[in-house]
Structure 1
């Protein structure tokens, strides 16, 4: 069963964590402002657990200006220090996510189309059910303003805006202006994850 099963107005939360949506991530290229992609390196062994995505080496690539950068997890002794997922910035390079837009005085963001589909399925449903999965699924961690029935129409309009934004890899999201330079990863996570 998929993580988002929608029949009519029903949505079943399959328990997938935010990490399940963290590959790839679409970001604003720090050189040219076009859409760039952050992905795990293709030469790595198959993923065993979604949590591994927080530690796996990443590659930033921009198809427009040919920018390429590498990220590897910091080591402290024998331990790898992974990133904390969440927020409108990419946790690996500190760049603004491509899929973000103002909504209800906040910022609605998504890592990629699958993430956007899952948020949309949950928000659009009039009957929302939890599966037997973990309590900390991506859907369970959505902020109350995204899940509020009174905000449904505004959030769904924002989702459609994000879909249109994704279709144009050269139209920089307005919500990404104001922090063109990469932020220090430690500075990104002072608040809640969404």
Structure 2
């Protein structure tokens, strides 16, 4: 029986609670934690060197509304890249392949990708967010059968990275 998997029920946003990054101070593994889904509570901490950074302290671009005259901050949150969305630090779990970079926010994200890419049958449910789902946004080279072995080997190596 062929291996089946549905990666169309989760979005990348669902893996943002604990993002593994490279510490800007020492180069070891650090964690970006998003608490209560409020960016202001987001914190980067390194258990190796003790470095801490708070998203609220990250300088943000400001603009004045022409209509109201109020000053607003522009939140520079970037999703879908091999950096963390808040501090823009390189992800701990990333590796170059011959086709592109395989990256994940954390081990759960990596596992989910492995299940989707390794599945011989991928099916979709017509859910409200299936166009934003992980299965829908993975690059075509990553899900192509001809690249499956290389991508799965890369994921296997990343899973061993502690």
Per the normalisation by structure 1, the TM-score is 0.70
| Matched-pair contact (CA < 8 Å) for 1:15–1:136 | no
| Offset, 1:30 | 0.7
Alignment of 1:5-154 (within 5 A): 9-41=3-35, 44=36, 52=37, 55-72=39-56, 74=60, 77=71, 81=75, 83-133=77-127, 134=129, 135-154=131-150
| Matched-pair contact (CA < 8 Å) for 2:23–2:46 | yes
Partner of 1:189: none
Partner SS state of residue 130, structure 1? coil
RMSD, aligned α-carbons: 2.2
Q: Write out per-residue CA displacement over residues 20-66 of structure 1, whole angstroms, 9 at most, x where no aligned residue.
A: 1112110001111110000024xx4xxxxxxx56x453101000100
Q: Write out per-residue CA displacement over residues 61-104 of structure 1, whole angstroms, 9 at most, x where no aligned residue.
A: 00010001100385765677351211111121121100000112
| Matched-pair contact (CA < 8 Å) for 2:42–2:54 | yes
Q: Return the index of the structure with the highest Cα Rg.
A: 2
Distance 1:87 1:117 in 2: 18
Per the normalisation by structure 2, the TM-score is 0.83
What are structure 2's unaligned runs of at least 5 residues?
64-70
What are structure 1's unaligned runs of at least 5 residues?
1-6, 45-51, 168-194
| Matched-pair contact (CA < 8 Å) for 2:22–2:29 | yes
| Matched-pair contact (CA < 8 Å) for 2:117–2:148 | yes
